[in-house]
Amino acid sequence: MAKPKVAFYWCASCGGCEECVVDLNEDILKVVGAVDIALWPVALDFKKKDVEAWQPGEVTVAFINGAVRTSEQAEWVKLLRGKCPLVVAFGSCSHLGGIPGLSNFTTREESLANKYHRSPSVDNPSGTLPGLKTRVNGYELELPEFLPCVRRLDQVIEVDYYLPGCPPVPDLIMQAVTAILEGKLPPKGSVLAPDKSLCDQCPRKESKPEIMKIESFKRVATSTPDPEKCFLAEGYICMGPATRSGCGELCIRGNMPCRGCFGPTSESKDMGTKMLSAIGSLLDATTEEKSAELASTLVDPLGTFYRFSLPSSILKHRLS
Amino acid sequence: MPDDRFEPKIVGFLCQWCSYTGADLAGTSRLQYPSTLRTVKLMCSGRVDPTFVVKALAGGADGVLIAGCHPGDCHYSEGNYRAMRRYPLLMQMLDQFGIERDRVRLEWISASEGEKFAQVVREMTERLKELGPLNWQGRSAQYCGAI
């Protein structure tokens, strides 16, 4: 029997998700022994016409990483959706919007101006911005449109499964690949990771005090957390309470608080407000003035609580 | 220029022990206030998850009122302190989302303060008329466009 074929595709992403496929180490040999890679732009040369020539169903599964920011990305993911019976959103950007999703904090025009006009390393005296069409040597060339906002994958196409993480961890990737090969998949729409919060798995959970009170917010940039204690009890924002487990607590073990890349559990509709709710109720304040004073020392609550999930939030973007 | 025809929609999360009873008193006392408020009765203002607030705003509300017992008077001893602590953080986050602070108001209204309840709804309605509709859904569709 022919080996099943898989496709990897990338959209608005950093390349870390591609890297983590290689991070499978020796296990990648098991993967390539079991499947044929039909598309992987980062490593192998394929053209769009090759994909267009696929018979529907010929390629079993597409792993798509990255958020959708350009018209080209939207076109490609729609093409892959039409060809593949299974689509897996691979990594935080595809699952939730991810770091590129923070660009929904501003407008397209501002983003372009920052990149092409204001950036100190850019010399652009004519103020040129990327356009949709350009003429080179008598040919008219088209460029993809930089869309007005960032979308997660399932805001553009139907998605069957989600592999969370920035990037997804090797254990979960192997479990997902094995489940697909053996046909033992959970219900459609599942996130292929445990559904408990990170605090539940946290190696420091024993150090969590009975009553937690945050007297002031601390930042890892300006002070060093105790290597044993609960980060929140010390005043560091740790996204553990609002974040799904399954990552192997890598950041915690490296003495860094959780940033929330695995996204919320299935119980939560909005990661940021859930985290705000948790943090807010821990403030050591019994007056409105003190609450406001403490809150004002938390720099950038939106960027902190929605670091990976702004396009997945209820409000999705800044109102302009 | 405020639009006189615009009737703001306010979602009010009222704790059942103080503020809801205060609203009841405003009614039984036949106090006049605008019919802009849609009331949601909760056990405690500490139950108001900030998710409820953004959901109301995204779902068509122009403003949200959170009302609970005065500090020190909470039926559950400190639920309203949770509301008090979350509120300024939520305000900072709404700033970042581009939503005016006056759209979300936190008030302490006791069971005997029917007049205060009516006054808060009057003031909030006036202010929201000045601010105009939030229209999150319309503005969101405009922001993102279609693909």
**Same domain as A56, residue A120:** no
Residue B145, pLDDT above cutoff 90: no
Asked if the bond preceding A100 is cis, omega within 30° of 0, the reply is no
Decide if A309 touches B, using CB distance below 8 A: no
Q: How far is B87 from B50, CA to CA, in rounded Å?
A: 8
Check residue B1 and give its pLDDT: 55
Any domain includes A192: no
Would residue A73 count as lying in a domain? Answer: yes
Tens digit of each residue's pLDDT (9 = 90 or more) over A76-87: 999 999 999 999
Give residue B106's identity as a one-letter amino acid code. Answer: L
Among A156, A182, A208, residue at a domain's last position: A182
Mean pLDDT over A88-114 rounds to 95
Q: Nearest CA to A17 among A188, A190, A164, A154? A: A164
Q: Are residues A211 and A287 in the same domain?
A: yes
Handedness of CA A100, A105, A106, A107 (dihedral sign): positive
User: Which residues sit opposite B64 in a β-bridge?
Assistant: B11, B104
What is the bridge-based pairing of β-strands A146-151 and A68-70?
Answer: antiparallel
Strands A133-136 vs B10-15: parallel, antiparallel or unpaired: unpaired
Binary contact (A71, B147; C-beta < 8 A):
yes
Question: Do the domain assignments include residue A289?
Answer: yes
pLDDT reported for residue A1: 61
Are both A133 and A17 inside the same structural domain?
Answer: no
Whether the complex's predicted ipTM surpasses the cut of 0.95: no
CA gap B4, A73 in Å, rounded? 45
In contact, A307 and B48? CB cutoff 8 Å? no
CATH class of B10-144: alpha beta
A223, part of any domain: yes
Contacts of B90 in chain A (CB under 8 A): 273, 276, 280
Q: Are residues A154 and A11 in the same domain?
A: yes
Q: Could you report the per-residue pLDDT of A1-33, keeping only the tens digit for each? A: 678 999 999 999 999 999 988 888 888 888 888
- Residue B3 pLDDT > 90, yes or no? no
Residue-range definition of the domain harbouring residue A52: 5-100+148-182
Whether the per-residue pLDDT at A119 is higher than 90: the answer is yes
pLDDT of residue A130: 87
**Beta-carbon separation of B50 and A281 below 8 A:** no
Does any domain span residue A237?
yes
Answer yes or no: is pLDDT of B147 > 80: no
Same domain, A42 and A161: yes
Tell me the pLDDT tens digit for each residue of A141-197: 999 999 999 999 999 999 999 999 999 999 999 999 999 989 999 999 999 999 999
CA count, 13 A, side-chain hemisphere, B130: 8
Query: Can you give the residue ranges of every domain in chain B?
Result: 10-144
Residues in chain A, how many?
320
